[in-house]
Amino acid sequence: MSSPETSPYKGTEAADHGPARHNEWPLWEIFIRGQHGLSHRHVGSLHAPDAEMAIKNARDVYTRRNEGVSIWAVEADNIAASSPEEKGSLYEPSNAKVYRHPTFFDIPEEVGAM
Amino acid sequence: MYAQMIKSTGEGVKSLEDMDPDERAFQERINAGGKIEPKDWMPDGYRKTLIRQIGQHAHSEIVGQLPEGNWITRAPTLERKAILLAKVQDEAGHGLYLYCAAETLGVSRDQLTRDLLSGKMKYSSIFNYPTLTWADMGAVGWLVDGAAIMNQVPLQRTSYGPYARAMVRICKEESFHQRQGYDIMMKMAQGTEAQRKMAQDALNRFWYPSLMMFGPSDAESVHSAQSMAWKIKVNTNDELRQKFVDQTVPQAHYLGLTVPDDDLKFNEETGHWDFSQPDWNEFFDVLKGNGPCNVERLEARNKAWDDGRWVREGLLAHAAKKKATHLAAE
Amino acid sequence: MTDPLFEYLCRMGDNTLVLSHRVSEWCGVAPVLEEDIALANTALDLIGQTQLWLGLAGEIEGKGRDADTLAFRRDVWDFRNVLLAEQPNGDFGQTMMRQYLFDAWHLLQLKALKGSSNAQISAIAEKAVKEVTYHVERSGDTVIGLGDGTEESHQRMQKALDRLWPYVGELFVSDAVDQALSAKGIAPEPTSLREEYDTAVNAVLAEATLTRPDSDFAHQGGKTGVRHTEHLGHMLTEMQWLQRAYPDATW
């Protein structure tokens, strides 16, 4: 429950840094959807005793400059993340599909904006 | 800067040929401009040096709240009070972002805090100087934030992803900090006789401590070389200090204030200002704990932490009770 | 008697001025970073509201005094904030209890002012009500969390409640100023807000497992300026020092 000395993310190697203090507030990852209809985006983390306070803290910490209209808070321990070793199999196949990118296609200038 | 005397754990920089395959792949990735992310393999020295550097940077933001917080309740207008409060609040936010970045390396915020409070970890020497008049709010914003920005802008490109992202956010938010300081200085410099005196006095007291913020000359340092190879340090201390002086001197002249350095002279050949070094003995004294305010700063942080314990524990206990009730209801 | 409208605007503005000052005293020394940042937000909202209320007060008075002059150049007897707002911070529990007891009233007051017959007042209330809706949510949750937390936090919160409760009654005392404004539909009768306040506060205190004191004895003298506590003078000494020491300077 405490933000762990061992790791804020499951599977992260701990640094050698002395014993953990009990009674730490857990770490939360904060996602915010801005005014312009884009999807929620990770903006950072913070500590809070529970989910309700995490949302309130996020409002105070991460929307001081009108950044958002909707907040998600996820306890860092509950995030499942891909591991770096899988990077190749997950992402490289899409490198070959260059035709998905508009710059793949040469359109003559006289055709105009497209 | 905010992290002045970071010792990397390496013993000098290894050549690519001397590295084992993991290390070499890591270094090549950095050389190619790639980012290192929390779950990636990294040399132990990289992790430890980063924890120290980010931790020291975070501590500086938090302790840095105190000298300016000293004037919030005495700010001379409602608008100045709001601006100063918003600025000091930003420092708390920046400390928070940085602690979170450090936490991705496997250390907790509370642990870092404990190391600050015990004196084991350091913070920037600049915050051990007192703020004595309202003009100091101007000088701190103009000089101290100016020096900080100089260091932080290149750190947006640092190799460690979470650190770089924190710096991007911090730089964006800090853009008003230096301006509000200079704005105070302009008002003072154009004000009454007493205000002009205050402004000059603030510059006199903060000039050399600001130059110290960049740390001693690092020409000889193996630590700097390793940190630069890892791209967790982007420029040398001397480069940044020169850049700061070149930028700041004309700003002082615009205010009609005198930089307290008789040897300050524009060098036509180099195109830079020649200036006197600060007293590095004083710098090391401050780092050792003998600055004018070291004791007060650590006392204040310790008191806040100790006084706040029951609050942190109370809210956590309530959260646990709520969770238990929810589970029982399911 | 001075213009009741001016008097009333000073009451609103002095409440937010004095309370924002108290809250700003926490900057840099709160129990945890997230609370430090949140408290600063509350203080910033209240400073902003002060500028609006006292700005309008100066305009209504028509003697060339702006919000800063009113904030920094009046002495204790000219201040019109309720005694609750000037109470010292004490520990974090006392600060949050003071905040909640004030916020719960503030929200009802502002909601009523949104319907004011005075367009400038209703515009200020419209803006402030959004900010204060969040203040009361946050301070209420904190009172609940600490009241129903550990044994120690519970005791501290009960102590804070007992300490501050005698200053709640003044929020609902009605006088000639209130009556004059309520007759014109400018501001609500203070007494009319009490029932809803009690309902809200009782619910929060119950969830916080705190006991509302039996006695409703009320200290008075803040909103009329007749008798402030000793604390206000010390606050003004600090707040107004620069303006008083260098009266010919602008900042």
What ipTM is given for this predicted complex?
0.96
Q: Is residue C126 part of a domain?
A: yes
| Residue A20: band (very low, low, confident or very high) from pLDDT cuts 50, 70, 90 | very low
Question: Quick one: which of B84, B160, B270 has its CA closest to C28?
Answer: B84
CA nearest to B113 within chain C: C32
The two structure tokens encoding residue A75: 């306890």
The two structure tokens encoding residue A68: 């958002």
Of A85 and B86, which is predicted with more confidence? B86
For position B171, what pLDDT does the model report?
A: 92
Q: How far apart are the first and last CA of chain B?
A: 53
Distance between CA C251 and CA C246 in Å, rounded? 10
Instruction: Write the CATH number for C123.
Output: 1.20.1260.10
Q: Are C83 and C170 in contact (CB under 8 A)?
A: yes
* Backbone φ, ψ for residue B160 (5° rounding): -90, 115
pLDDT in tens, C18-64: 999 999 999 999 999 999 999 999 999 999 999 999 999 999 999 99
Question: Quick one: which of A6, A67, A61, A5 has its CA closest to A29?
Answer: A61
Q: Is residue C251 part of a domain?
A: no
Tell me the DSSP string of B116-144.
HHTTSS---GGGGS---STHHHHHIIIII
Question: Quick one: which of B38, B61, B272 has its CA closest to B161?
Answer: B38
Q: Is residue C50 part of a domain?
A: yes
For position B242, what pLDDT does the model report?
A: 97
User: A28 in helix, strand or coil?
Assistant: strand
CB < 8 Å to B311, chain C = 31-32, 35, 92-93, 146, 153
pLDDT in tens, B212-263: 999 998 776 667 888 999 999 989 999 999 999 999 999 999 999 999 999 9
Distance between CA B206 and CA B132 in Å, rounded? 11
Q: Is residue C158 part of a domain?
A: yes
Q: Are B208 and B248 in contact (CB under 8 A)?
A: no
Tell me the DSSP string of C56-73.
HHHHHHTSS--HHHHHHS
Q: Is residue C73 part of a domain?
A: yes
**Could you tell me how far CA A81 lies from the centroid of its own chain?**
10
The two structure tokens encoding residue C64: 């060339």
Residue C81: burial class (beta carbons within 10 Å; 0-12, 13-18, 19+): buried
The H-or-E segment that residue B266 falls in is strand B265-267
Helix, strand, coil percentages, rounded to 5, for chain C? 70, 0, 30
Judged by a CB distance cut-off of 8 A, whether residue C47 touches chain B is yes
Hey, are the CB atoms on B312 and C243 less than 8 Å from each other?
A: no
Q: Which of B38, B108, B313 sits opposite A3 (nearest CB)?
A: B108
Which DSSP symbol is given to C224? S
* Backbone φ, ψ for residue C9 (5° rounding): -65, -35
Judged by a CB distance cut-off of 8 A, whether residue C40 touches chain B is yes
For residue C235, pLDDT over 60 is answered with yes
Which DSSP symbol is given to B36? B
Of C16 and A34, which is predicted with more confidence? C16
Of B15 and C103, which is predicted with more confidence? C103
Hey, are the CB atoms on C38 and A60 less than 8 Å from each other?
A: yes
Judged by a CB distance cut-off of 8 A, whether residue A37 touches chain B is no
Crossing angle, helix C92-113 and helix C4-24, to 10 degrees?
150
**Could you confirm whether domain A27-111 is CATH 3.40.50.2300?**
no
Distance between CA B198 and CA C231 in Å, rounded? 30
Structural domains of chain B ordered from first start:
21-291 (1.20.1260.10)
| Residue A22: band (very low, low, confident or very high) from pLDDT cuts 50, 70, 90 | low
CB < 8 Å to B51, chain A = 15, 17
In this structure, which amino acid lies at residue A10? K
Distance between CA B192 and CA C247 in Å, rounded? 10
Positive or negative torsion for Cα B96, A50, C128, C180: negative
The H-or-E segment that residue A52 falls in is helix A51-62
For position C1, what pLDDT does the model report?
A: 58
Judged by a CB distance cut-off of 8 A, whether residue C89 touches chain B is no
- What's the full length of chain C, in residues? 251
Partner residues linked to A30 by β-bridges? A44, A73
**Residue C134's domain spans which residues?**
4-210+218-245
Hey, are the CB atoms on B111 and A18 less than 8 Å from each other?
A: yes
Q: What is the least distance, in Å, from the CA of C49 to any CA of chain B?
A: 11
Partner residues linked to B194 by β-bridges? none
Q: What is the least distance, in Å, from the CA of C247 to any CA of chain A?
A: 34
Judged by a CB distance cut-off of 8 A, whether residue A63 touches chain B is no
Positive or negative torsion for Cα B222, B228, B231, B233: positive
| Residue C189: band (very low, low, confident or very high) from pLDDT cuts 50, 70, 90 | very high
For residue C161, pLDDT over 60 is answered with yes
Cα maximum dimension of chain C: 54
CA nearest to C156 within chain B: B310
For position A30, what pLDDT does the model report?
A: 95
Q: Is residue C250 part of a domain?
A: no
For residue A12, pLDDT over 80 is answered with no
Distance between CA A4 and CA A12 in Å, rounded? 11
Q: C97: which residues sit within 8 A by CB, 6+ positions away?
A: C143, C157, C160, C161, C164
Of the candidate ranges A23-37, B256-270, C59-73, the one whose mean pLDDT is the lowest: A23-37
| Residue A38: band (very low, low, confident or very high) from pLDDT cuts 50, 70, 90 | confident
Hey, are the CB atoms on A27 and B40 less than 8 Å from each other?
A: no
CB < 8 Å to B37, chain A = 84
The H-or-E segment that residue B265 falls in is strand B265-267
For position A69, what pLDDT does the model report?
A: 79
Judged by a CB distance cut-off of 8 A, whether residue C33 touches chain B is yes
Half-sphere CA count of B265, side-chain side, radius 13 A = 5
In this structure, which amino acid lies at residue C104? A
The chain-wide mean pLDDT, for chain C, equals 97
Q: Are A88 and B120 in contact (CB under 8 A)?
A: no
CB < 8 Å to C144, chain B = 318
pLDDT in tens, C5-14: 999 999 999 9
Judged by a CB distance cut-off of 8 A, whether residue B306 touches chain A is no
The two structure tokens encoding residue B253: 């002249």
For position A112, what pLDDT does the model report?
A: 76
User: Rg of the Cα trace of chain B?
Assistant: 21
Each domain of chain A, given as residue ranges in start order, spans 27-111
> Per the structure, how many domains does chain C have?
1
CB < 8 Å to C246, chain B = 192, 194-195
Q: Are C187 and C113 in contact (CB under 8 A)?
A: yes
Q: Which of A47, A52, A64 sits opposite C34 (nearest CB)?
A: A47
For position A64, what pLDDT does the model report?
A: 80
Question: Quick one: which of C101, C89, C96, C93 has its CA closest to C169?
Answer: C101
| Residue A86: band (very low, low, confident or very high) from pLDDT cuts 50, 70, 90 | low
Q: B137: which residues sit within 8 A by CB, 6+ positions away?
A: B68, B71, B75, B84, B131, B181, B184
- What's the full length of chain A, in residues? 114
For position B9, what pLDDT does the model report?
A: 62
Question: Quick one: which of B37, B45, B6, B2 has its CA closest to B230?
Answer: B45
Q: Is residue C149 part of a domain?
A: yes
For position B37, what pLDDT does the model report?
A: 92
Question: Quick one: which of B278, B128, B294 has its CA closest to B211?
Answer: B278
Distance between CA C209 and CA C65 in Å, rounded? 47
In order along its 330 residues, chain B shows pLDDT tens digits of 577 766 666 566 888 888 898 899 999 999 999 999 998 999 999 999 999 999 999 999 999 999 999 999 999 999 999 999 999 999 999 999 999 999 999 999 999 999 999 999 999 999 999 999 999 999 999 999 999 999 899 999 999 999 999 999 999 888 889 999 999 999 999 999 999 999 999 999 999 999 999 999 877 666 788 899 999 998 999 999 999 999 999 999 999 999 999 999 999 999 999 999 999 999 999 999 999 999 999 999 999 999 999 999 999 999 999 999 888 887
Hey, are the CB atoms on B317 and C153 less than 8 Å from each other?
A: yes
For C46, other C-beta atoms within 10 Å of its C-beta total 27
Tell me the DSSP string of B164-180.
HHHHHHHHHHHHHHHHH
